[in-house]
């Protein structure tokens, strides 16, 4: 079920009303059923994978609670990691490995090729497996208390506002909030509704409209036209930001009307003055996950220089691979790792803040080209096209796409980059309803109704 669908527009008010009509002791059950219904609206069979992760990690954590010996506790942790990573690798990466093995076999002149699995990629699998692994690791480290109520733990794993694309919540933050007795509060309803309106505007008006142009350039027939590639890459940078931050705003807003505060997942990353700052603002729940459960256990920066270099690159390469089973994502992660290391070693002194931000944005956009390209070969073709301006071809494409529509996309992109930090600051600074809010958010609703894409386009991060 998509946040930008008619089904969700019906689903959410029903769950909200029933939630506050029910006695507190039964609300967890309603939310758990609602979360499973929300997920099964996509493909009902794959709920079994969530149930397996839930049962394994619940059982492992309960067993850890009663086990003081180091050896058995480590074995339990291995069981949890093996199960969750096994599910993730099987459904997300099996065909990638098969494809690469087949390529090697074919190049060696062998006739036998390994058949593909034919498995669908379950929505949200990278998010809920990481969330359950975080819980088990925290219990093992003694940083999280064991949840004995199976229903609340199952709800923590599958809580529908953040199930499919995060934020990847820690048990310490979410479970106690799910247990808390809440009542309808006007400030929660106001702020939650404002965030949902803003998120839907970003997704349906900005991201989906820009996406049509980006798809035409990246996935269409390639004529040498560097200007088109540059414009499409800039548009994609804005598209993926609006798509992901729009999703995050809706997720946080939906949870807020139920009295739950999810962690911030994105904070105006394109205003970053360097790559380090970018990663403190972009996909915060994932970057902190990799920091706490991979980078620091590898030794972080408390090791010699060569080992530290390896730690940084390994984390970014794995982070890239987490996003998708394609070499393009690995290159994307590797580029960001190289950016960060260059930043630390070269220590360039760029004079003005505006120039720092522009330079960082251009580096991020270059990496986005690989992220968006269908494969490494296509990425290479796109880079080659940048060296050929192809103004005539660009003009022809824009006319075919629609000059007025292209102008609209450019204008909405420029306006959005100006207003987004202001709206973001407004959400953080106050939960009340100012007199001007009616005009601001009313205009957003009107813009969404007039210019929004109502084709129920999936969010980009749902594929991860």
Q: Helices 391-401 and 226-257, interaxial angle, to 10°?
A: 40
Report how far residue 311's alpha carbon sits from residue 242's, in angstroms, rounded to the nearest whole number. Answer: 31
Do 422 and 241 meet the contact criterion of CB atoms below 8 Å apart?
Answer: no
Q: Are 229 and 385 in contact (CB under 8 A)?
A: yes
- DSSP H stretches of helix in 202-304: 208-218, 226-257, 275-281, 284-290
Residues 238, 4, 282, 35, Cα dihedral to 10°: -170
Per annotation, catalytic residue among 222, 323, 336, 427: 323
Closest CA to 154 of 254, 39, 20: 39
Query: Cβ distance 282 to 316 under 8 Å?
Result: no
Q: Report whether 250 contacts 341 (CB < 8 A).
A: no
Contact by Cβ (8 Å): 350, 342: no
Cα separation, 246 vs 399, in Å, equals 29
User: Can you tell me the distance from the alpha carbon of 38 to that of 142, in angstroms, rounded to the nearest whole number?
Assistant: 33
Residues 446, 439: Cα–Cα separation, whole Å? 10
- Exposed/middle/buried for residue 42 (C-beta within 10 Å: 0-12, 13-18, 19+): middle
To the query of whether residue 19 is one of the catalytic residues in this protein, the response is no
Q: Residue 458 and residue 242: Cα distance in Å, rounded? A: 13
Sign of the dihedral through C-alpha 115, 117, 121, 127: negative
Structural tokens at position 315: 């984390």
Return the active site residues.
323
């Amino acid at each position: 079920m998509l946040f930008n669908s008619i089904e969700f527009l019906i689903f959410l008010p029903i769950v909200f009303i029933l939630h506050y009509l029910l006695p507190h002791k039964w609300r967890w059950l309603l939310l758990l059923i609602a979360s499973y219904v929300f997920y099964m609206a996509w493909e009902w069979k794959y709920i079994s994978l969530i149930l397996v992760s839930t049962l394994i990690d619940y059982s492992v954590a309960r067993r850890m609670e009663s086990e003081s010996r180091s050896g058995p506790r480590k074995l339990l942790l291995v069981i949890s990691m093996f199960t969750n990573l096994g599910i993730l690798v099987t459904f997300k990466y099996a065909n990638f490995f098969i494809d690469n093995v087949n390529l090697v076999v074919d190049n060696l002149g062998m006739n036998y090729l390994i058949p593909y699995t034919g498995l669908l990629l379950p929505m949200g699998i990278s998010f809920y497996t990481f969330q359950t692994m975080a819980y088990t690791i925290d219990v093992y480290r003694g940083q999280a208390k064991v949840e004995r109520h199976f229903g609340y733990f199952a709800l923590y794993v599958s809580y529908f506002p953040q199930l499919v694309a995060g934020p990847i919540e820690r048990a310490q933050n979410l479970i106690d909030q799910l247990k808390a007795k809440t009542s309808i509060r006007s400030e929660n309803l106001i702020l939650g509704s404002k965030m949902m309106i803003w998120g839907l505007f970003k997704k349906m008006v900005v991201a989906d409209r820009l996406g049509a142009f980006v798809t035409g350039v990246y996935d269409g027939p390639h004529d040498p036209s560097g200007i088109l590639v540059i414009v499409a890459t800039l548009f994609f940078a804005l598209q993926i930001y609006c798509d992901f931050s729009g999703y995050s705003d809706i997720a946080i807003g939906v949870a807020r009307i139920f009295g739950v505060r999810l962690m911030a997942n994105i904070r105006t990353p394109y205003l970053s003055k360097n790559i380090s700052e970018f990663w403190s603002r972009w996909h915060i729940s994932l970057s902190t996950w990799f920091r706490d459960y991979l980078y620091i256990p590898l030794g972080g920066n408390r090791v010699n220089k060569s080992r530290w270099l390896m730690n940084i690159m390994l984390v970014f390469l794995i982070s890239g691979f987490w996003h998708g089973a394609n070499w393009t994502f690995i290159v994307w992660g590797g580029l960001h790792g190289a950016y960060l290391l260059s930043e630390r070693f070269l220590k360039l002194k760029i004079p003005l803040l505006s120039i720092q931000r522009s330079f960082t944005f251009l580096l991020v956009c270059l990496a986005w080209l690989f992220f968006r390209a269908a494969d490494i070969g296509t990425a290479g073709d796109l880079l080659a096209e940048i060296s050929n301006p192809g103004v005539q071809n660009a003009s022809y494409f824009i006319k075919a796409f629609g000059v007025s529509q292209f102008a609209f996309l450019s204008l909405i992109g420029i306006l959005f980059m100006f207003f987004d930090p202001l709206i973001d600051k407004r959400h953080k600074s106050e939960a009340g309803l100012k007199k001007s809010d009616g005009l601001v958010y009313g205009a957003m609703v009107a813009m969404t109704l007039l210019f929004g894409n109502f084709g129920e386009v999936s969010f980009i991060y749902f594929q991860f």
